Structure 1
Amino acid sequence: MSAILIFLKAPHKGYVKTRLAHDVGPERALQAYRALVMRQCSALPTQAQLEVHYTPSDAGPEMQKWLGHTASYFPQKEGDLGTRLQGAIEQAFKRGAQTVTCIGGDCPQLETKHFEQANQLLAKGHDIVFGPSEDGGYYLAALKAPIPALFQDIPWSTGETLQVSLQRARDLQLKVGLLEALYDIDEVSELNRALADKRIQLECLPPDIQSG
């Protein structure tokens, strides 16, 4: 069984897409966040087990109402992103997953093929597969076993996240696979880029989302 773990915040105004909100306002940022998450969920392989790992910890009923009953829902652990990632990964493997793929909710270019490519690389002997983000992080991480040290003491949400993670993987003598680089949406220029791309369907966005 393949498990896909998507890490999300509850869709609350002022809580999500705060950098984007500086340009378009918190209401439009919330609308963009909802549209991005739904766009990304539409790209998930149907045969995989979906786990939604959410924050804050009391948002379970709200998340289930939003995203439906076919996924499993878990509150994120306390701690930095590395602690939350590793805790969720370990539990997914304990539940029987043979591969685990972790994603966020703000990569509009993510397609089903990227999950398939990641699993193919794992099947060919890679220990970890990253999907690099253009901002220096990564939009996807896929593993076939827990690797706790890979997520410890990483400068999260910086331009160095991926490079430090790659060096850590080399230090651990892991075989690393890389997918194509894609972009995340954190600022209005990136949102406009996605809206201008006819291949990307961002439904439920108001026509004036680009304005402040």
Structure 2
Amino acid sequence: MNRTLIIMVKEPRPGRVKTRLGRDIGVIPATWWFRHQSDRLIRRLRDPRWQIVLAVAPDRAVNSRVWPADMPRLPQGSGDLGQRMKRMLTMPGQLAGQRPSRPPKGRALYALPARVGRSSGKRGGPVCLIGADIPGITRAHIARAFAALGDHDAVFGPADDGGYWLVGAKHPSRLPHGLFGNVRWSTEHALADTLRTLPGWRIALTDTLQDVDTAADLPRC
């Protein structure tokens, strides 16, 4: 069974990443923190049990030399966080069997098709999606999340602020149309709001981890 781990990343440019952290410690230190955190996370999570795909924002940064040259990359595309997350969750089935290769200059490694998900007629294996700003994520956390999808339709990794650091689906092509609709992102309601968009689904909750939004979060990670 093909397992895919998608890591949502942003090009580490000053003022574009970790803006709340930047207000506390300075824009440049926050940018460097995010860049090194992303690098460490990607290295740590490499594992033969799953394939890592980077979901990159902004789209033009998909070919940046910041990212590992051997790793598949996709542009996140337009829309709010929920729309981009859903798009990324449904993409791996469309990439089944492809191998990463260096694209021609100025071209994206993979292009987003006009339509994704059920209409594609393609199915991949289970998919988990995470952000790059959670220092505590380990391979063991990811393995437990995929294991939970053995007898559940979806899995979430709660964050202690009411959000979540991981979302996964056993059959991404079956995700409901309204997934992530009306979610109050960046609030303590984000996880509860998302769960309400999955009525009737068997949901597993895995490890609770701490994300980093402000300087106060750094010592706890």
TM range (shorter): 0.7 to 0.9
1:142 paired to 2:168: yes
Cα displacement (A) at 1:28: 0.4
1:149-188 deviations in Å (ceiling 9; x for gaps): 322222222110001112332xx20001011211001100
CA-based RMSD: 1.4
1:98 paired to 2:125: yes
Show the counterpart of 2:21.
Answer: 20
Is this contact kept in 2: 1:122–1:143, CA < 8 A?
yes
CA distance in 1, matches of 2:70, 2:152: 30
Residues 9-158 of structure 1 aligned to structure 2 (within 5 Å): 9-47=10-48, 48-62=50-64, 65-96=65-96, 97-123=124-150, 125-146=151-172, 147-148=175-176, 149-158=178-187
CA distance in 1, matches of 2:167, 2:89: 11
CA distance in 1, matches of 2:86, 2:26: 33
CA distance in 2, matches of 1:158, 1:79: 19
Relative contact order, CA 8 A, sep 6+: which one is greater? 1
Cα displacement (A) at 1:45: 4.2
CA distance in 2, matches of 1:187, 1:41: 22
The answer to which structure has the higher helix fraction is: 1
Cα displacement (A) at 1:42: 2.9
Show the counterpart of 1:203.
Answer: none
CA distance in 2, matches of 1:45, 1:179: 20
1:46-82 deviations in Å (ceiling 9; x for gaps): 12211111111111221xx222122111111211111
Cα displacement (A) at 1:145: 1.4
SS at match of 2:93: helix
What is the TM-score with the length of structure 2 in the denominator?
Answer: 0.81
CA distance in 2, matches of 1:179, 1:95: 27
What is the TM-score with the length of structure 1 in the denominator?
Answer: 0.84
SS at match of 2:165: strand
Cα displacement (A) at 1:94: 2.8
| Structure 1 unaligned spans of 5+ | 195-212
Show the counterpart of 1:165.
Answer: 194
Show the counterpart of 2:111.
Answer: none
Is this contact kept in 2: 1:20–1:188, CA < 8 A?
yes
SS at match of 1:35: helix
CA distance in 2, matches of 1:128, 1:45: 22
Cα displacement (A) at 1:5: 0.8
CA distance in 2, matches of 1:139, 1:106: 9
CA distance in 2, matches of 1:118, 1:192: 25
SS at match of 1:177: strand
SS at match of 1:186: coil
Is this contact kept in 2: 1:45–1:115, CA < 8 A?
no
